Amino acid sequence: AIPHHIAPAWDMSALFVDNEGSSSLTVLDIRTGRPVDKVSIPFPYNLYFTPDGTKAVDVVERLQRIEFRDWRHGWALLKSVPIPWPGADHLDFSADGSYLMISTEYSGVVAKVDVNTMQLAGYVRVGGLPIDVRLSPDGSLFYVTNQGRMGVSVIDPVAMNEIQFIPTGRGAHGLQVSRDTKSLYVSNRLEASVSVIDFATRTVVAKWQIPGGGSPDMLQLSPDGKQLWASGRYHATVYVFDTATGNVLARIPVGSEDHGLTYFPNVGQHSLGHNGVYR
């Protein structure tokens, strides 16, 4: 099946496991955590929902495209949008939901797609291996991790250029906004650490190390913001950090190559998918 991520539905009525290898979504009951249904869509690596809840976005990395689908009516295909660079990966939406920014991991490009016309609307070359994408709390900039460049690009989505690069650590991978929206957590997968970026100054103000090593990947925040959870991609472990001190509170043994991680239910009016990005 090759499950990668686990996406809460826009209305948080279900959880969807992206099974890229079997071209399907496993639907989980939010109360029992058990599978209750299956949806057939092509090679879902990531799954998102537009902020207005009208469309689902299937990131079909293998075929270099994203698919807009009517998830409320049989997952009917609305339009397929070619992404002409290898490695379509993670995305986030503008504050008004009119466009999205998507990373292409193997080409060093971040692309812009118009959500209304469902067409490619631009791109910016950042180089390296861009991965996770997150809109800034004020809605003006996008932050994109870069495993190859070992840090985070800050992108102006109007001018479509990189205005700053913030070094964080080897294998910069996942992003999570703090509950007070003042900080951005960055997992550095290849050096067993999490960097904390201050949004106001766009600088790294702290780095939390995992004693004995680890591989923090995708990140999630507890509803009260006091704990940061991270999947440990190469260590079959989930790490729990204290966001006040940066200390590791727990290591939870799990299956091998744990990747997507969601903390559910969580704070927000609706879900944009991925592993739980809420607004």
Mean pLDDT by 10 residues, the chain (279 residues): 96 98 98 98 98 98 98 98 98 98 98 98 98 98 98 98 98 98 98 98 98 98 98 97 98 96 97 97
Walk me through the domains of the chain, giving residue ranges and CATH numbers: 1-71 (2.40.10), 83-167 (2.40.128.630), 187-278 (no CATH)
Contact 162, 169 (CB under 8 A): no
Nearest alpha-carbon partner for 96 in 118, 76, 117, 116: 116
CA quadruple 276, 43, 55, 130: dihedral, nearest 10: 60
Region class of 114: left (phi > 0), else alpha (psi between -120 and 50), else beta: beta
Task: Identify the bridge partners of residue 194 per DSSP, sorted by sequence position.
Answer: 187, 208
Is the pTM for the entire model greater than 0.95?
Answer: yes
Amino acid at 264: F
Among candidates 97, 92, 89, which has minimal Cα distance to 66? 89
User: Per residue in 241-251, pLDDT tens?
Assistant: 999 999 999 99
pLDDT tens digits for range 27-63: 999 999 999 999 999 999 999 999 999 999 999 999 9
d(CA 16, CA 27): 5
User: What is the bridge-based pairing of β-strands 56-60 and 46-49?
Assistant: antiparallel
Could you give the 3-state DSSP secondary structure of residue 61? helix
Whether 273 and 57 have beta carbons less than 8 Å apart is answered as: yes
Under DSSP, the state recorded for 140 is: S
